[in-house]
């Protein structure tokens, strides 16, 4: 029985090779996984032309996944460094990488990325359109935009952010809201500018069915971009954000009708007390489709530390239903991240994802923590380093100020609570001098 997409196969009752890989990774029933793919509750982004891919599932009942953004800009054109970031991201266990390059002819780097990466690859074709087509924004036609989408799909991109929800109706809601930070989505601002300069409807909305035909051909998952996501906690959960979200729900169903897998993107900045309600609202309005969030960043006053503000929001969001986290680095709002920033962002995001998986009751999520706790009780440093999410850093900290003996660290010395309790329980005398 033939099929074009994972969703089409699932609807036909077929368990694909990709589903088998995901089920094994997740210790999940193949049949249940297939059914949730058929219903749209789980997506397995897997372009038929991405031959190096190790498939991952995103959605209900699965581990929370993370995405790493990278790519060149006009001020930082170094594809070699970007490939170093790719290798680091994969080594640290990131499940997805988005190439957000927005300068020059990016297709050569993207092809190298797709050939090398076992992680899912995502793009935002809108970013690439100006450089790819070598045209001013207002002179790009709807047909031109579709050409860029098809070029990315042919190369092997597994998922694409398409800002299709910011139609004229959503723009009117945005204009009435009088936001503090207006539009902070790069792709969203470009679409808004194109619409205002040409007077036309959003081409990704107007020609949505044509886009779905392209995506279905290569089994590209559509990630419905939130062009009107809040860029400050002042603007969260406003009319612009919610009006676009309603449109994204309608677009989700239309994609599923064409057997195209869907993820829905979510808010950027948001106070902690609004996050749980927003997760529930998105799941309700978008029929349980996997939810992909950037942050949410929970306070606006910490440039240089937004990997922390984001990790706080990500952990809350994922524990209340978000399925996919876009990492944020310390360089957010400031500059293109370097290798150190990328590492800090990945680790912060992985901590948030794992903490949420424990809260969600994902099978075996706690086992990792229990093994670490047991190693701490036994004061087995080598085992602790092997279990640490960043064992290299843990070792460096421990060895930077070595203890007098290996039954403690330099903070407590012989007064280590573990050491004291272990000795007492073994009937040994506790001595400090």
49: annotated binding-site residue?
no
286: annotated binding-site residue?
no
172: annotated binding-site residue?
no
- Which of 343, 360, 377 is the endpoint of a domain? 360
416: annotated binding-site residue?
yes
Whole-model pTM: value is 0.95
186: annotated binding-site residue?
yes
141: annotated binding-site residue?
no
- Which of 360, 375, 403 is the endpoint of a domain? 360
**213 and 351 in a common domain:** yes
Separation CA 282–CA 317 (nearest Å): 11
**118 and 56 in a common domain:** yes
365: annotated binding-site residue?
no
What is the mean pLDDT for each group of 10 consecutive residues in the chain (433 residues)? 94 98 97 98 98 98 97 72 94 96 78 96 91 87 95 97 96 94 96 97 98 98 97 96 96 98 97 98 98 97 98 98 98 94 98 98 96 96 97 96 86 90 92 80
Tell me the three state secondary structure of residue 348: helix
* Distance set, CA 18 to CA 33, 44, 234, 235 (Å): 11, 8, 42, 40
48: annotated binding-site residue?
no
- For residue 45, the model assigns a pLDDT of 98
- For residue 131, the model assigns a pLDDT of 76
**412 and 393 in a common domain:** yes
**401 and 280 in a common domain:** no
**380 and 347 in a common domain:** no
226: annotated binding-site residue?
yes
Q: In the 8-state DSSP scheme, what is residue 16?
A: -
- For residue 408, the model assigns a pLDDT of 85
- Specify the length of the chain in residues: 433
* Residue 391 backbone zone (phi > 0: left; psi -120 to 50: alpha; other: beta): alpha
Q: In the 8-state DSSP scheme, what is residue 73?
A: B
**324 and 399 in a common domain:** no
CB 82 within 8 Å of CB 153: no
409: annotated binding-site residue?
yes
354: annotated binding-site residue?
no
228: annotated binding-site residue?
yes
387: annotated binding-site residue?
no
71: annotated binding-site residue?
no
Domain that holds residue 295: 6-360
**330 and 247 in a common domain:** yes
**383 and 263 in a common domain:** no
- Please count the structural domains in the chain: 2
185: annotated binding-site residue?
yes
């Amino acid at each position: 029985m033939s099929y074009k997409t994972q969703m089409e196969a699932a609807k036909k009752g077929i368990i694909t090779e990709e589903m088998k890989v995901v089920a094994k990774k997740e210790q999940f029933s193949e049949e249940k996984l297939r059914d949730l793919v058929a219903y749209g509750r789980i997506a397995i982004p897997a372009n038929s032309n991405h031959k190096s891919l190790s498939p991952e599932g995103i959605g209900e009942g699965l581990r929370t996944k993370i995405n790493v953004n990278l790519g060149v800009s006009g001020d930082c054109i170094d594809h070699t460094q970007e490939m170093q970031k790719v290798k680091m991201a994969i080594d640290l266990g990131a499940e997805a990488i988005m190439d957000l390059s927005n300068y020059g002819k990016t297709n050569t780097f993207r092809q190298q990325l797709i050939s090398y990466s076992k992680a899912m690859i995502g793009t935002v074709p809108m970013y690439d359109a100006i450089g790819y087509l070598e045209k001013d924004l207002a002179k790009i036609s709807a047909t031109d935009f579709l050409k860029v989408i098809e070029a990315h799909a042919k190369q092997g991109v597994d998922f694409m952010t398409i800002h299709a929800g910011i139609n004229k109706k959503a723009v009117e809601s945005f204009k009435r809201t009088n936001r503090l930070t207006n539009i902070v989505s790069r792709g969203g601002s470009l679409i808004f500018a194109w619409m205002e300069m040409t007077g036309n409807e959003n081409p990704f909305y107007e020609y949505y069915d044509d886009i779905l035909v392209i995506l279905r051909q290569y089994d590209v998952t559509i990630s419905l971009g939130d062009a009107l996501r809040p860029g400050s906690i002042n603007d969260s959960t406003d009319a612009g954000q919610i009006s676009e979200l309603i449109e994204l729900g309608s677009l989700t169903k239309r994609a599923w009708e064409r057997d195209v897998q869907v993820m829905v993107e979510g808010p950027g900045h948001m106070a902690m007390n609004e996050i749980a309600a927003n997760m529930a609202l998105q799941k309700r309005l978008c029929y349980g489709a996997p939810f992909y969030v950037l942050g949410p960043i929970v306070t606006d006053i910490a440039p240089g530390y937004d990997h922390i503000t984001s990790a706080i929001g990500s952990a809350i969001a994922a524990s209340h239903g978000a399925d996919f986290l876009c990492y944020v680095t310390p360089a957010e709002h400031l500059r293109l991240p370097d290798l150190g920033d990328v590492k800090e962002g990945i680790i912060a995001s992985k901590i948030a994802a794992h903490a949420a998986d424990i809260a969600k009751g994902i099978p075996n999520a706690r086992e990792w923590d229990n093994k670490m706790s047991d190693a701490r009780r036994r004061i087995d440093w080598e085992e602790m380093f092997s279990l640490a999410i960043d064992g290299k850093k843990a070792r460096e900290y421990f060895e930077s100020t070595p203890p007098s003996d290996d039954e403690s660290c330099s903070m407590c010395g012989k007064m280590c609570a573990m050491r004291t309790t272990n000795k007492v329980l073994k009937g040994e005398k506790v001595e400090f001098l």
